Structure 1
Amino acid sequence: MIFESVLDLGAGDGRFSHVKGIYGHYTGIERDSKKVDTAQLPPNARLVVADALAWKEGGFAVCVGNPPYIRHHGLDNDWRNVALESIVRDGGPQLKKTANAFVIFLTQALLRTRADGLVAQVIPYEWVSRPSASELREYIRANGWDVSVFRFESDIFPTVLTTASITIIDKASQHGEWKFGFITREGEIRYSGRASGTSSHVLSYKNGDPTCKGIRGLSPGGQDIFVLTEEERLFHSLRKGVDVRPCVVSLRAIDETVDRLDKKSFDKLFVQRGAKCWLIRSDKPRPSLQLQRYLDGVPEPSWRRYTTCANRRLWWQYKPHPKPGLLVASGFTGKRPKSLVNEIGAIAVGSVYGVLFEPATEAAIVQRVFEGLRAYDFGRRLVHHSNGLKKVEVRQLNTVLAELILN
């Protein structure tokens, strides 16, 4: 089969144009003029120096591409806003401002292909479930297009912590069918039941309930500044409970047989191992003389590189964070993330989630939820990241907590 015209958004040096015998004419859009100037193209191909999201020419039979993997935090605000407004004006969906770059590129690809066109993109597999792409998925479903998403079993982008996929959207088909599968190391396609890769639905996203909810770990503005080891605490003469408090930034080194974090286990697993486990109490309005001396000794270039610190009135004063009843890792490789009953009252920091309960919650209920987390097969209901890594989002954790608290 020969496609009359092919569009490549974010074409780089136009390497997709070198696939012979499948297209009549190729148009690549690339913002970097240096890549265009050095490109070697077939006679029926052209590269245009332009912004792919500002490109208005449409009616292409196929749109291919390997768009940049840039999370919304790294996008220029003005560029993103113009791109999102342009998509809406051209009849596309109103995407969230949290949509990553590849979601915006994929939407543009749908708008620039003809009514019976085909879109084929190499993009992160996560778009099939993440809330930041929900408007795009609804737009595709509303149009009844068929979607096939095949994730690579091998790690083709080792520097990016996400699972790559080939996503194919067939606008000519009006069955609204979504198919999922794997591309093996040998290049063979193996179909799976659902987006999770199993027979189970991907966990939905739910807001927390006051009775029992998960919260993200505290992001004070740089763990190298705000979280200390025991040796660092002693060096700066900072007092436990006054200047610092226990915290957990990772459960990676914790054996799965450990189920409670009390003073004894905290000392053994964190303090004595030299782990960063003391959160400075700069959430208080008036730090002690020792703590203020420590804060004054942090060089400005060190804290100013963190946007969180630079945007505060006092760069070091973060908002107080609650003591969770349970600690849960966000990432894992087996069936479920590690979790602990938080008897010592450590603060969850960074990639560790906290589970909050109402103050009057009985210990038996906390234990029941904990045991439920320890038995729940998260792995079957998540879209996996790269290298076997799985990650549960905090709102997905809330979905599981809601199930457990009701049972």
Structure 2
Amino acid sequence: MKSVTHQKLPTQRNEREKLRDKGQFWTPAWVAEAMVAYVAQGADLIFDPGVGKGAFYTALKNVAPKNNFFGTDIDSEVIAEARQEGIFGENAELEVRDFILNPPKRHFKAIVANPPYIRHHRLSQEQKNQFRKVSLINLGYTIDGRAGLHIYFLIQALSLLDTGGRLAFIMPADTCEGVFSKKLWNWISKKFCIDGVVTFEHKATPFPGVDTNAIIFLIKNERPKGKVKWAKCLSPQNKGLFEFLKNDLVGKNYDDISIYERDLSEAVSTGLSRMPRADHDFEYTLADFARVMRGIATGANEFFFLTREKAKEIGIPDEFLLPAVGRTRDAEGVRLTKEALVKLEAQGRPTLLFFPNGSRWEDMPESVKNYIHEGEKLGFSKRALISTRQPWYKMEVREVPVFLFAYLGRRNARFIKNEAGIVPLTGFLCIYPRSDDGEYIKKLWAVLQHPDTISNLQLVGKSYGSGAIKVEPRSLERLPINGEMAHSLGLRPRRSAHPLFISV
């Protein structure tokens, strides 16, 4: 069978959504063979709990053809397709089963997988409840509900790893960057030996076109050790990766691979997806100078977020509207000005937030009442987030932030000075300096624009494909700040003088 360098992703949106629902992104041969080379040492059988179309079985035939193979998958159709294509041979035993809820009743010396990448918002509440039990049984406690299916695959697989056995999983970076990661890696690092971690440069990604950064975790069921080998693969189709894993992570001279030996405590503290840092203890973080909140979640942008033309057509007076921006691409550069807002309006972009807060129903104009009635007819009042509000059309409140943070998108994450006086939607974070003093704000702005500050975002953010990064509010407050620069500017921590909420 001819090996495929990369999985060809569908171009149609509905087909890509189906792919995301199943989380099936096939592992390219150059990566699969390296992973199999690592786990196959000292084992006569390789287990793949999410076998799919047999990428690791194909790799096994090339790397260790005498070894047997056992694979499971919940998708009977994909296994049937692989059988029809003649991928699996006589030494492959396959079962259709739910690996999380019905795992094999045995342990394995070698486990290799690219688990289904299904994020938490695609899981039902019933699934989440069942998965929490898996966490409770194995870890002794539950982990945050934002953990995706792939996290529970790793937990279940580690529970089936035999003494002295090896595991190689390729997973998204959120495995060690998500809000659940601290608990997860605290358990893993104390119970297992984290032997090695392999990351990839953007140009070397095994999954081009997929919005995630991949990481290979190499773990042994042995006594933990204080050091971990950490590598970055610099080019695709990398033969050095195969040699490095085949040689049991020994040595440093491999083509197009940067290799570091890190203290385990530093690696886990900094984040296994991130480059090693010697100076991971910082004098200041952003929380010393500012507070952070997410932007406004309307629950229905199509109803609450309006263009100037639409608001005029409906007849909503200006006192029921707030200037707002929703998309990061609508805030170009590092300053959002009133002129930029006018330009967006001319382009037909929504720039107004429907904000009926503070007005009694009997005092509202008929045009506003009619618009609210229309929203009820369309079912907006029954949406999950909106239905919790009393009345349903009452909007979340944010004071106008001095700074914005564009935290996820194809463009570089950046801080933005809010000169237009807008309130942002959830594409942004709101940053409120702990002082209203003009000089204080000027100094903080200089710090936020400093290259060190921007570079440190990778220490607190979740990384995605093509260099995109996502930083949650509490994570942004932990952003390390250059202490020397703060001192040189005379910028000192202060208690907050800026309210995050206003009463309406």
Per the normalisation by structure 1, the TM-score is 0.85
- Bigger fraction of residues in helix: 2
Q: Secondary structure at the match of 2:478?
A: helix
CA distance in 1, matches of 2:44, 2:184: 26
Q: Distance in 2 between matches of 1:73 and 1:370?
A: 35
1:327 maps to 404
1:51 corresponds, among 72, 94, 98, to: 98
CA contact 1:330–1:391 (8 Å) conserved in 2: yes
Q: CA shift at 1:281, angstroms?
A: 0.5
| Structure 1 counterpart of 2:324 | 247
Structure 2 CA distance for partners of 1:108 and 1:23, relative to 1, 3 Å: farther
Is 1:389 aligned to residue 468 of structure 2? yes
Change (3 A) 1:151 1:301: farther
Three-state SS of the structure 2 residue aligned to 1:42 is coil
1:185 to 236, 239, 242: 236
User: C-alpha displacement at 1:82, in angstroms?
Assistant: 2.2
Q: Does 1:370 align with 2:445?
A: yes
The answer on whether the counterparts of 2:321 and 2:353 sit within 8 Å (CA) in structure 1 is yes
Structure 1 equivalent of residue 191 of structure 2:
143
Query: Where do residues 338-377 of structure 1 align in structure 2 (5 Å cutoff)?
Result: 338-340=415-417, 342-357=418-433, 361-377=436-452
Match of 1:133 in 2: 181
Change (3 A) 1:301 1:28: farther
| Kept after mapping to 1: 8 A contact 2:296/2:396 | no
1:252 is paired with a residue whose SS is helix
Give the corresponding residue for 1:62. Answer: 110
Q: Distance in 2 between matches of 1:99 and 1:203?
A: 27
186 and 12 in structure 1: CA distance in 2 versus 1, 3 angstrom threshold: closer
Deviation at 1:221? 0.9
Determine what percentage of the aligned residue pairs are the same residue. Answer: 21
Does residue 318 in structure 1 map to residue 380 in structure 2?
Answer: no
Give the direction of change, closer, same or farther, for the CA distance of 1:2–1:283 in structure 2 (3 Å limit). farther
Q: Which residue of 2 aligns with 1:174?
A: 224
Q: Partners in 1 of 2:176 and 2:348 — Cα distance?
A: 41
Shift of 1:224: 2.3
In structure 2, relative to structure 1, the CA distance for the partners of 1:132 and 1:254 (3 Å cut) is same
Deviations 1:306-332 (A, max 9, x none): 532355565433332332221121136
Native 8 Å contact 1:309 1:315 kept in 2: yes
Shift of 1:335: 6.9
Tell me which amino acid in the other structure corresponds to 1:185.
P
Contact 1:3–1:23 (8 Å) recurs in 2: no
Task: Tell me how far 1:349 sits from its aligned partner.
Answer: 0.6
Matched, 1:259 2:310: no
- Confirm whether residue 228 of structure 1 aligns to residue 306 of structure 2: yes
Name 2:43's counterpart in structure 1.
Answer: 3
* Structure 1 Cα separation of the partners of residues 378 and 217 of structure 2: 43
Q: Which AA in structure 1 matches 2:450?
A: A
Q: Name the amino acid aligned to 1:220.
A: T
Deviations 1:339-391 (A, max 9, x none): 11x34431121211111245x63122222222211114323551532112233
- Out of 259, 274, 294, the position equivalent to 1:196 is 274
Q: How far apart are 1:91 and its partner, in Å?
A: 5.4
> Could you tell me how far apart the structure 2 residues matched to 1:181 and 1:251 are?
33
Please say if residues 287 and 478 of structure 2, whose CA atoms lie closer than 8 Å, have aligned partners that are also in contact. Answer: no
The one-letter amino acid of 1:89's match is: I
What amino acid sits opposite 1:227 in the alignment?
A: F
**What is the CA–CA distance in structure 1 between the aligned matches of 2:357 and 2:66, rounded to whole Å?**
62
CA 1:171/1:218 → structure 2, altered by over 3 Å: closer, same or farther?
same
Equivalent residue number for residue 34 of structure 1: 77
**Which residue does 1:78 correspond to in 2?**
126
Deviations 1:132-187 (A, max 9, x none): 22211101221251242223334444564221222221233632433333332132
Could you tell me how far 1:25 is from its partner in structure 2? 3.0
Aligned residue number for residue 478 of structure 2: 399
Residues 85 and 208 of structure 1: CA distance in aligned 2, closer, same or farther (over 3 Å): farther
Stretch deviating more after TM superposition (168-177 or 107-116): 168-177
Distance 1:401 1:45 in 2: 50
Amino acid at match of 1:53: I
CA distance in 2, matches of 1:203, 1:233: 50
Contact 1:151 1:166 (C-alpha < 8 Å) held by counterparts: yes
The alpha-carbon distance between structure 1 residues 90 and 132, as it changes in their structure 2 partners (threshold 3 A), is: closer
Whether contact under 8 Å (2:139, 2:187) holds in the other structure is no
**SS in structure 2 at match of 1:3:** coil
Aligned partner letter, 1:12: G
Q: Distance in 1 between matches of 2:429 and 2:353?
A: 16
Aligned to 1:218: 296
Structure 1 window deviating more from structure 2 (90-99 vs 210-219): it is 90-99
- 3-state SS of paired residue (1:161): coil
Aligned to 2:30: none
Does residue 103 (structure 1) correspond to residue 182 (structure 2)? The answer is no
1:272 maps to amino acid? A
Q: In the alignment, residue 218 of structure 2 is paired with which amino acid?
A: I
Runs of 5+ in structure 2 lacking a partner?
1-40, 242-256, 261-266, 268-272, 494-504
Cα gap change, 1:161/1:22 in structure 2, threshold over 3 Å: closer, same or farther? same
Pairwise CA distance, 1:392 = 2.8
Partner amino acid, structure 1, of 2:444: V
TM-score (normalised: structure 2)? 0.70
Contact 2:306 2:354 in 1 (8 A): yes
Which AA in structure 2 matches 1:71? R
**1:137 counterpart letter in structure 2:** W
The alignment status of 1:271 with 2:348, answered yes or no, reads no
The answer on 1:280 being equivalent to 2:367 is no
Give the Cα–Cα distance (whole angstroms) in 2 for the partners of residues 65 and 311 of structure 1. 41
Q: Secondary structure of the residue that 1:131 maps to in structure 2?
A: coil
* Residues 299 and 137 of structure 1: CA distance in aligned 2, closer, same or farther (over 3 Å): same
3-state DSSP of counterpart to 1:129: coil
